[in-house]
Amino acid sequence: MTAHLPVLQVVLPLMAAPLCVVIRQLTLVRLFSLVVTGTAFLISATLLYQVNTAGPISYAIGNWPAPYGIEYRIDLLNAVLLFIISLIGFLVLIYSKNSIAREITQNRLYLFHSLYLLCMTGLLGMVITGDVFNLFVFLEITALSSYALIAMGGGRLGNPQALYAAFRYLILGTLGGTFYIIGVGLMYMMTGALNMADLARLLPSVFDTTTIQAALGFLVVGITLKMALFPLHMWQAAAYARAPSTVSSFLAATATKVAVYVQLRMIFTVFGQIPLFRDTPLDEILIVLALSSMIIGSLSAVYQKDMRRMLAFSSLAQIGYIVLGIGLNNATALSASIVHLFNHALMKSALFMALGAVFMSTHSVKRGAMRGLGRNMPITMAAFVVAGLSLIGVPLTSGFISKWLLVQGALESGMWPVALMILVSSLLSIIYIWKVVEAAYFKKPKRALPKARDPGPTMWVPMWILAAASIWFGVDAGTTVGIANKVAETLLGGVPQ
């Protein structure tokens, strides 16, 4: 049984998705999908434990050996990602009950669960697979289901903007997917291989061809689009702002992280035998894009009035941090990226959950509507503040650990200005989080908010689990940083310098 955990991780939610449509009865569907995501979470935790103690796992689907069949290959990096996705997936689903009941049309709720499970399947599959084409398949599963999920925001509250946002995301997401598959096609043309390990072995001999260089270009740009890095972030703000709160909480924490994972995989595994950072301008490009994302994302976040848009722009900045860590090309910076993948998933999901609760009671997520909520919704706003502090990187929060490592990484590469820009960006994040705190705690509401109350425990418990985790992993960073260091060493270790 345990030998088949890798495939169960993906197949379980995949099979469960159509079953949701068959069951249809809402309570049962909810219970069923909770069981499925809970099991997926347990599987991922087990896998993480196994990989951390016993080393990478390779699983041949249908017993076809690697180059012929599809291989699932789990090392520490994707084990961490699997853990993040299934943890957030599980918690957000617990959270979803009341929120989706208010935001999505009643007769589509069972479809929501089905799509949600599909989306999770896609994300898990992208991470777990060791085959670049299989990755594309899962990428499309993720993309298609998330377009539909975002469009559901148009349901009950008559919010046609959600459809536009979904459509815009569809066009750009497809563009990203197409770029990716063109890249894969070009690589296949030159090597005849789709398995990542195979590609890694075969690529160095053909890397001086323009075909492979173009392939790398297509891959990088396609993935950049998927992870919403500047200047290809335009789809993100509208998508997160218009989607149902539950969907934003899930996608903001996972979708872009998975794209970052793919980027890491391409750079350090598929092209791992080629010193990309030495021979190509990839590191310069990544650093420039990352820095622009950090500054532009934070600045734009400061001026947003819609708080979900604000968080989306803050995600742009945070993805900037993560990519910067990749581009700096040293072990400290890379482990900063990996720690931040995890930390940011926790805090951003908690923040979106808090906004979802605010939306439940005030029907708005404009900053103005949050005036005085500190009094009416103490539990929710306190969670927002805790997660917000972590986003800023206050000591004793997990964000501080990431920020510290990243600055240290920048200084180890001798890049003072880069370190400075990280700190500027974090100062800007103080401003945009502060504006919310100010509205919630120091301003009187324009009109009385008699109905604004904290949500029930199904909503605040998951929210607080994530917020508390942001503190926990800030105080006791040994585990996360230890794993991240191992991952970073493994990734960099394979690259010839």
Please tell me whether residue 64 binds other proteins under the rule CB under 8 A: no
Please tell me whether residue 175 binds other proteins under the rule CB under 8 A: yes
Please tell me whether residue 394 binds other proteins under the rule CB under 8 A: yes
Instruction: Return phi, psi of residue 129, to 5°.
Output: -75, 150
| Positions 202 through 261 that interact with other proteins (CB under 8 A) | 210, 213-214, 216-218, 220-221, 224-225, 231-232, 234-235, 237-238
Minimum CB distance to other proteins, residue 327 (Å): 14
Minimum CB distance to other proteins, residue 367 (Å): 12
Please tell me whether residue 426 binds other proteins under the rule CB under 8 A: yes
Q: Around Cβ 387, how many Cβ atoms within 10 Å?
A: 31
- State which of residues 31, 171, 189, 448 lies at the interface with other proteins (CB under 8 A): 171
142-147: long-range contacts at Cβ-Cβ below 8 A with a sequence spacing of 24 or more? 142/255, 142/258, 143/170, 143/173, 143/174, 143/177, 144/118, 145/115, 145/116, 145/118, 145/119, 146/119, 146/173, 146/247, 146/251, 146/255, 147/173
Please tell me whether residue 481 binds other proteins under the rule CB under 8 A: yes
Minimum CB distance to other proteins, residue 194 (Å): 22
List strand residue ranges (DSSP E) for 282-434, in order.
none
Minimum CB distance to other proteins, residue 188 (Å): 19
Please tell me whether residue 318 binds other proteins under the rule CB under 8 A: no
Rounded Cα distance between 343 and 330, Å, is 20
Rounded Cα distance between 231 and 216, Å, is 18
Please tell me whether residue 281 binds other proteins under the rule CB under 8 A: yes
Q: Pick between residue 36 and residue 166 the one whose CB is nearest to other proteins.
A: 166
How distant, in Å, are the alpha carbons of 6, 68, 128 from that of 61? 9, 10, 12
Which residue bears the tokens 């990602």? 81
Q: Pick between residue 7 and residue 234 the one whose CB is nearest to other proteins.
A: 234
Cβ-contact 352, 471 below 8 angstroms: no
Q: Pick between residue 224 and residue 249 the one whose CB is nearest to other proteins.
A: 224
| Positions 94 through 153 that interact with other proteins (CB under 8 A) | none
Which residues would be at the binding site for other proteins (CB under 8 A)?
164-165, 168, 171-172, 175-176, 179, 210, 213-214, 216-218, 220-221, 224-225, 231-232, 234-235, 237-238, 280-281, 285, 296, 299-300, 302-305, 309, 313, 394-396, 401, 404-405, 407-408, 411-412, 416, 419-420, 423, 426-427, 430, 434, 438, 442, 476-478, 481
